[in-house]
Amino acid sequence: MVYRLLRHSFLSQVRSPFWERSLIVNILLALLALYLLLNFLAIGYFLDVILAESFSGQDIIAVANGFLLYTLLGGLFARFMVQNFPVLDMQPYLLLPIKRNRLYHFLLLRSVFNLVNLMPLVVALPFALKVVYHRLGTVSGTVWLATILALSLTNHFLAFYLKRQFNLRPLAIVGLLVLLGGLVTLDVQGVVSLAAAFGQGIMMIVEQPVLLLLPIAILLGVYGLLYRAMHYYSYLDTVEQKREQVQSGKGIAALRRLGMAGHFLQLELRQIWRNKRPRTMLIMSLFFLLYPMLMIMDDGDDAGGSSGLGFFIILIALSFPMVNYGQFLIAWESRYFNLLMARHAPLKDYLKGKYYLFLFFNVIGFLVCLVYGFLDAAFFPIVLSAFLFISGTTVYIMLFLATYNTRAVDPAKSAFMNWEGVGGSQFLMILPAFFLPLPIYFLLLFFTGETWALVAMGGIGILGMALFRPILRQIEKQLQARKHILIDSYKQ
Amino acid sequence: MIRIENLSKQYGDAVVLDIPELTIEAGQRFGLVGNNGAGKTTLFSLLLDLIQPTSGSVHSKAVRVDASEDWKAYTGSYIDESFLIGFLTPEEYFNFVGGLYGMSPADVMAFLQRFEILFNGEILDSGKYVRDMSKGNQKKIGIAAAMLGEPDIIILDEPFANLDPSSQIRLKQLIGELPEQQTLLISSHDLAHVTEVCQRIVLLERGKVIRDITDAPDRTMEELEAYFAGS
């Protein structure tokens, strides 16, 4: 039986739609995974050197143990974001004559075998072999390694559990986070010394191997907790009951003044707000707007500079929300695209709504980036010029290329490690959006100097905005021509 | 109202639809029956310009559906869940669709009065998003949205499927109450329902029209049963 379950899970991996992407994307992803793994391996192998240089004179193992608490907390956070409770895999088997208990154990144990769990091992093992075994002897070294692995496995299951709890009682988890954050702050400021105490705890286990039972007991405890949750969730109606009541919104009154385009904009804003993936992606893009800040802090006074770097960075930061969301434009709506095509939804207004949405993103970016102007006046013209250029050119490029987004996207799924909808067209969109303006700018910069280059870029943007109607008409024709291809490829 | 000429659809070598000529008059209640794979949904998708014909054309009033968007202003339709927007509440969804036809939220609510019995208190003010509703309730939402704005033509694919018996009866009443000038096209597996609400029944088999019954409505049921039992 277990063999058959294993075989099914193997098939589900092999036949997963995950692989049904272009070969290039698969290769890139594999390279990315390999790269991460190698990075972690390098960290593990050189950890002793790194620690010895940064904390000369201290015992490396004690220093490493001192960092452990934060590493684990960071790991827990990352897992919380990335991992999904394996409860859904269970449904097809529930009606079959398999003992439920066995199914729970199987799913929980299977979840252990993934790339994320390889990471702690890849870091800890080289360090253990190179330093811990050497210094403390085989028994203690093994105990140390076992403790670390038990703790990271605890993390693995705890992340599932917390995620479930987060869906049930978000406030409790937020409270927990605040508490944890407070403790960490106190620890960093030296009021209490949590991390150090934790490190000493690890050393005690190493000195008294019997104490290894403690982390193992914790691991089993968390496993048991999850096992019980699994049992609870194996009844289909439990998820259903928890769903809270939603209220119908009246919509934003001001959007009505935009007419039919406002009608579509309203829909798209709701689409963003009520679906996990676009919402998370946009919130993350806001952080990207802070990116130029690093450069200003790094570079002191000559941040704007005549090197063109300032323009480059502002341009990317400004267009990031638009490009990040826009790379799946139209594909976000794959679920109800037939409605838009079969009912009285004028394509012109549909596209205009998206133009306004992008403009809205750009204005927010513009306002945030204006702050850099206050920090360094040289940024004012750069931000204005980049804003005008994006709103008059990149916006149209995104709208036009969106008609090539033939991969359906389910926006309700998580944003993390989600490659649904990613294909060649994303590269085609992101590259010109970010990098087409640059050669133009650098050419202008070379021939006319910074001031005129900025004026010219802004001028191109204004020209683009002035040509709004004819350009939009061309994009409308393009969408009309691609309509049947999109409908066909969004069919499930 | 709708005129089909030499319409065919092929996928590779497989001909899924081949209709040399078919005209649907204004005000007609048109029922499309046939087994799975007979081409019912394909025909409706062609009428709505959701797929392109291999050859031939569909005219709605005077315009070709693939050459103009004018027909959309007077055509309401519901084919499947891809006509629903999952992250909206039913009210928001009706307001969105109604807004496409220039209806205000108040117009929409007034219009939906007639669906009160069909909705059975489970649709409006349900506090749920459309994506969290049952298949039957989703279908009710889709049907009501197709009728929003009193379009001249209403196209419904399998409207009776997934509905409970009370809702099926109520839907038949609603269809009976439609204004006479409205043209209705429905497809169905359920012979009893479709013969009850339609004066004209077209039977599709492997993409071809093999019966077109317009007269003798009392004998329609017998004739259809004889066909489906035999094939």
Residues of A in contact with B85 (CB under 8 A): 267, 335-336, 339
Q: pLDDT value at position A303?
A: 47
**Cα torsion A474, A476, A481, A482: sign:** positive
For residue B157, what are the contacts with CB-CB under 8 A and spacing of at least 6?
Answer: B40, B41, B44, B78, B79, B80, B186, B187
d(CA B215, CA B8): 27
- Looking at the fold, whether A214 and A264 belong to one and the same domain comes out as no
d(CA A184, CA A69): 10
The model's confidence at residue A192, banded by pLDDT at 50, 70 and 90, is confident
d(CA A268, CA A278): 10
- CA-based nearest distance B201→chain A, Å: 24
Q: Taking Cα atoms as reference points, which of B189, B198, B192, B193 lies closest to residue B217?
A: B198
Least confident of A293-297, A436-440, B28-32, B152-156: A293-297
> DSSP assignment of B144-161, as one string?
HHHHTT--SEEEEESTTT
| Contact at CB, B72 and A243, closer than 8 angstroms | no
d(CA A383, CA B34): 63
- Looking at the fold, whether A188 and A309 belong to one and the same domain comes out as no
Residue A452 belongs to some domain of the structure: yes
d(CA B131, CA B221): 37
* CB-CB contact of B33 with B187 (8 Å): yes
Instruction: Determine whether B136 is exposed, middle or buried from the number of CB atoms within 10 Å of its CB (0-12, 13-18, 19+).
Output: middle
- Looking at the fold, whether A173 and A305 belong to one and the same domain comes out as no
Q: pLDDT value at position B154?
A: 96
Residue A249 belongs to some domain of the structure: no
- ipTM score assigned to the predicted complex: 0.92
The tally of domains found in chain A comes to 2
- Looking at the fold, whether A188 and A297 belong to one and the same domain comes out as no
Lookup: tokens for B196: 């009850």
Radius of gyration, CA atoms only, chain B: 18
Domain that holds residue A310: 258-490
Q: What are φ and ψ of residue B82, in 5° steps?
A: -70, 0
- Looking at the fold, whether A446 and A396 belong to one and the same domain comes out as yes
Please say if the pLDDT value at position B131 is more than 70.
yes
Residue ranges covered by each domain of chain B? 2-230
Place of tokens 């050497």: A134
Give tens-digit pLDDT for A44-65.
888 888 888 877 777 778 878 8
- Looking at the fold, whether A162 and A201 belong to one and the same domain comes out as yes
Q: Across-strand partners of B30?
A: B185, B200
* CB-CB contact of B162 with B172 (8 Å): no
- The answer to whether B42 contacts chain A (CB < 8 Å) is no
> Between residues B217 and B188, which one has the greater pLDDT?
B188
Q: Taking Cα atoms as reference points, which of B183, B120, B116, B188 lies closest to residue B146?
A: B183
- Looking at the fold, whether A190 and A220 belong to one and the same domain comes out as yes
- Looking at the fold, whether A210 and A109 belong to one and the same domain comes out as yes
d(CA B23, CA A249): 43
B79, B83, B101: which to substitute to probe chain A, counting the most A Cβ within 10 Å?
B83
* CB-CB contact of B106 with B91 (8 Å): no
Q: What are φ and ψ of residue B12, in 5° steps?
A: 65, -125
For residue B29, what are the contacts with CB-CB under 8 A and spacing of at least 6?
Answer: B175, B184, B197, B198, B199, B200
Q: Tell me, what amino acid is at A181?
A: G
Q: Residue A94 gets which letter from DSSP?
A: H
Residue A251 belongs to some domain of the structure: no
- Looking at the fold, whether A33 and A153 belong to one and the same domain comes out as yes
| Contact at CB, B83 and A342, closer than 8 angstroms | yes
Residues of A in contact with B96 (CB under 8 A): 263, 266-267
Lookup: tokens for A282: 């946009």
Place of tokens 């939009």: A472
- Looking at the fold, whether A196 and A279 belong to one and the same domain comes out as no
Which chain A residue shows the shortest CA-CA distance from B82?
A336
C-alpha distances (whole Å) from A311 to each of A325, A358, B182 are: 22, 20, 60
Give tens-digit pLDDT for B27-75.
999 999 988 888 999 999 999 999 999 999 999 998 999 888 899 999 9
Superfamily of domain B2-230: P-loop containing nucleotide triphosphate hydrolases (3.40.50.300)
Q: Tell me, what amino acid is at A129?
A: L
Q: Which of residues 257-296 of A touch B (CB under 8 A)?
A: 260, 263, 266-267, 270-271, 274-275
Q: What angle do CA A259, A263, A264 make, to 5 degrees?
A: 120
Which chain A residue shows the shortest CA-CA distance from B51?
A484
| Contact at CB, B129 and A488, closer than 8 angstroms | no
Give tens-digit pLDDT for A314-358.
888 888 899 989 999 999 999 999 999 999 999 999 999 999 999
* CB-CB contact of B181 with B152 (8 Å): yes
Residue A385 belongs to some domain of the structure: yes
Domain stop point among A187, A215, A242: A242
Domain stop point among A242, A276, A304: A242
Q: pLDDT value at position A173?
A: 75
- Looking at the fold, whether A264 and A294 belong to one and the same domain comes out as yes
The model's confidence at residue A14, banded by pLDDT at 50, 70 and 90, is low
Q: Across-strand partners of B204?
A: B209
Residue A250 belongs to some domain of the structure: no
Q: Taking Cα atoms as reference points, which of A261, A211, A243, A230 lies closest to residue A103?
A: A230
Which chain A residue shows the shortest CA-CA distance from B70?
A344
Q: What are φ and ψ of residue A307, in 5° steps?
A: -75, -15
Give tens-digit pLDDT for B63-118.
999 888 899 999 999 999 999 999 999 999 999 999 999 999 999 999 999 999 99
Tell me which residue in A246, A338, A490 faces B79 most closely, judged by beta carbons: A338
Q: Across-strand partners of B200?
A: B30
d(CA A410, CA B203): 37
Q: What percentage of residues in chain A have a pLDDT greater than 70?
A: 89
Q: pLDDT value at position A304?
A: 47
Kindly state the greatest CA–CA separation across chain A. 78
- Looking at the fold, whether A84 and A208 belong to one and the same domain comes out as yes
Domain stop point among A242, A266, A297: A242
